[in-house]
Structure 1
Amino acid sequence: MTDLFNKLYSQFLNGKTDLKAFRDFKESLNHLPDNELSGRMEAHWNENNDYPVMDASRKQKIRRTLREQINPQNYRSVRWRRLSVAVAVAAVLSVFIWNITLLYERQIPESPFLAEAPVGNKVLLTLPDKSTVKLNSESSLSYTYVKGKRVACLEGEAYFHVSKDREHPFVVQVGDLNIEVLGTSFNVRSYKECDEIETSLVEGSIRLFDSNNPLESFLLKPSQKAIYSKNNRKISFHHTDNVKETAWTQNHLVFESEKLSSVLHKIERWYGVEVELLCPDIANDRISGSFKNEQLPYVMEALKMQYGFSYEITGNNVTINKSNIK
């Protein structure tokens, strides 16, 4: 394990990690106690002379970021006890993004910058160009340069705040949909089980186009949402409430007139659990609600009051029983 960790760790720090190696790196992190991980990281840093000495302000910023990652104020401690892998990876990303940024300043990276938020977790990233991205649960992102453009490939949901760089446009690729910006803030949601890709603009402007028809593009204005159908490749536009669209970034679980089955999928992703609904007759019922920083039992109790079902939480499994439905 020592040799494997050191190899993967070195690859990660030097920006030479592919997706498989990144996942292996996370797995190796999960098998190391906190004190051993800390010692390994410090030893590796001290043994390599390629990394410049950090000044006091940089160290203070890293300490602050680590505290936010490990002891976030907006999350209750019960939920975070399960997040050993995500917290470890987020902490490493927070510390060594400084080194990755320095590498970016010296040369254009040859390999993508990779990040992943496992189910039940969220990860805050600073990209090599100093743009920030918050990944929602069960989401992944790769970032690299392609022909002078900053290109990010997304699966899942993310909130972007892009640093302005007119010489290097920023493009988010979500399947066949391309979202191009110079500097702005926006939210993108595209999970595998959904036919639609939703893009909500908070500030600035973005241009959307299908990779199969790049000459036909659409401009999105603040407080507008674009919905792109993966099946028919059509884009529709709607006015939206940015507070609701980005509520998840403030740890606020919101659903508005959504099918119960969709709400249960959100709960699965949000809390890192699997929900089994044994009463499919209520799956298409529409429900609205919101929860902020609530633990899973509280959310299930609220749904129980609405529908009168019984439920059982066993580890990471939630079973909703139809026997007590009114």
Structure 2
Amino acid sequence: MEKHINNLLNKFINENITPDERKVLKNSVTELSDEELKQAMSDVWEQYETKATSPVAFEQIARKLSIKSQSSMRHTLLFIAKVAAVIAIPLLIGIQIHLYITNDKLNKFIDQQLAIQVESGEKAAITLPDGTKVYLNAATSLSYPSDFGLYQRDIYLTGEAYLEVAKDAEKPFHVHTDDVEIEVLGTKFNVNSYPDQDEVETTLIEGAVKLTTKNNSQHPIIMKPSQKVIYSKKNHQLSSRQTTGHFETAWTRGELVFRSAKFSDIIEKLKKRYGVEIQITGDKYNTDLFTGSFKEEYIHGVLRLLQMHYQFTYTEKNGKILIRMK
């Protein structure tokens, strides 16, 4: 069992694990005790001791391993630097730890950005050291300084996230994206900031936030609950509208919702949601707009429903879906 887990962890680190093996790894981890998991991770760490890279979100794993002493913490930090992707395993998500650093060497080691990468077809939930809960959608990356919460609370986001920010009047919480910055004391809101989209959307569910554009062409906006602010990357303009937030946060409930969406936009969301490659051939895309919602576990169920609205056929070959428009 131990040898099998080590083999899968090695494949995961080297990014040559198959989808089926990834599922086996996730299931296997849930069956391990704390000591067994610690031993498996330590065994793999030894093989990468001289290949350390930037540590990533170690707080999710450190508490799981009941790290208390300085020496064992350093051991775990070094290991996590090599196997950061393991945080994608649901069992290890959502665990927080407060670090107690006692020497300059260790301070220098962790004095850098920690990053979490969620792949297409995956979602994750984490708890930051201050108690803030962050839900990350597919194809999303989040980073923050290793001393987060000590002097300030800043995170850097690419993709989509829903946040429930812990209140701390003395340390405002800042979300940085490529185009806008959001400042909040304590609230619930959703941010959609994918690089391949023309707009950045911020939806406030509860509390209040201040939104500022990076180009400084407009004054900051103080958002109110049930308000959605959209920043256009093309014309650098802000617009706002009222919303219940139900549509914008549907992804956190496992729903895929479209409102007057173009077929090309639907396909792009399916790629992220299910983590599959989709290629379209044939005539020009149907210009009809689609409104509807899905809660399908597999992409084939969604495609069959879309065939009732759009004229196309599809096949799957070598893990790639080929769509041919009629």
Normalised to the residue count of structure 2, the TM-score between the two structures is 0.71
Mapped pair 1:191 → 2:211:
no
Q: Give me the whole-angstrom Cα distance separating, in 2, the residues matched to 1:207 and 1:135.
A: 21
Report the counterpart of residue 298 of structure 2 in structure 1: 295
Mapped pair 1:40 → 2:40:
yes
Q: Does the aligned pair in 2 maintain the 1:272–1:316 contact within 8 Å?
A: no
* Matched residue SS, 1:305: coil
| Aligned pairs (5 A) from 1:1-326 | 27-28=13-14, 34=25, 38=37, 39-41=39-41, 49-50=69-70, 89-91=88-90, 93-94=92-93, 97-99=95-97, 101-103=98-100, 110-144=111-145, 145=148, 148-213=151-216, 216-322=219-325, 325=326
Task: Flag the 1:309–1:25 CA change in 2: closer, same or farther, 3 A.
Answer: closer
Percent sequence identity over aligned pairs = 36
RMSD over equivalenced CA pairs, Å? 3.7
Q: Give me the whole-angstrom Cα distance separating, in 1, the residues matched to 2:178 and 2:136.
A: 17
Q: Give me the whole-angstrom Cα distance separating, in 1, the residues matched to 2:123 and 2:100.
A: 26
Task: Flag the 1:280–1:113 CA change in 2: closer, same or farther, 3 A.
Answer: farther
The 10-residue stretch of structure 1 (235-244 or 141-150) with the greater mean CA deviation from structure 2: 141-150
Task: Flag the 1:222–1:26 CA change in 2: closer, same or farther, 3 A.
Answer: farther
Q: Does the aligned pair in 2 maintain the 1:176–1:210 contact within 8 Å?
A: yes
Q: Give me the whole-angstrom Cα distance separating, in 1, the residues matched to 2:150 and 2:219.
A: 21
Could you give the per-residue CA deviations for residues 24-47 of structure 1, whole angstroms, max 9, x where no partner exists?
996248769846983323778599
Q: Does the aligned pair in 1 maintain the 2:130–2:149 contact within 8 Å?
A: no
Structure in which a larger fraction of residues adopt helix:
1
May I ask how many residue pairs the two structures share in their alignment? 269
Report the counterpart of residue 74 of structure 1 in structure 2: none
Equivalent AA in structure 2 for residue 131 of structure 1: T
Q: Does the aligned pair in 2 maintain the 1:275–1:317 contact within 8 Å?
A: yes
Q: Give me the whole-angstrom Cα distance separating, in 2, the residues matched to 1:279 and 1:299.
A: 20
Q: Does the aligned pair in 2 maintain the 1:90–1:124 contact within 8 Å?
A: no
Residue 293 of structure 1 deviates from its aligned partner by 3.5
* Matched residue SS, 1:281: coil
Q: Does the aligned pair in 2 maintain the 1:29–1:88 contact within 8 Å?
A: no
Q: Give me the whole-angstrom Cα distance separating, in 1, the residues matched to 2:16 and 2:129.
A: 25
Q: Give me the whole-angstrom Cα distance separating, in 2, the residues matched to 1:128 and 1:147.
A: 9
Q: Does the aligned pair in 2 maintain the 1:253–1:291 contact within 8 Å?
A: yes
Q: Where does the alignment leave 5 or more consecutive residues of structure 1 unmatched?
A: 1-5, 10-23, 54-84
Q: Where does the alignment leave 5 or more consecutive residues of structure 2 unmatched?
A: 1-5, 30-35, 46-64, 74-83
Q: Does the aligned pair in 1 maintain the 2:261–2:291 contact within 8 Å?
A: yes
Equivalent AA in structure 2 for residue 115 of structure 1: I
Task: Flag the 1:111–1:306 CA change in 2: closer, same or farther, 3 A.
Answer: same
Normalised to the residue count of structure 1, the TM-score between the two structures is 0.71
* Matched residue SS, 1:278: strand
Residue 282 of structure 1 deviates from its aligned partner by 2.4
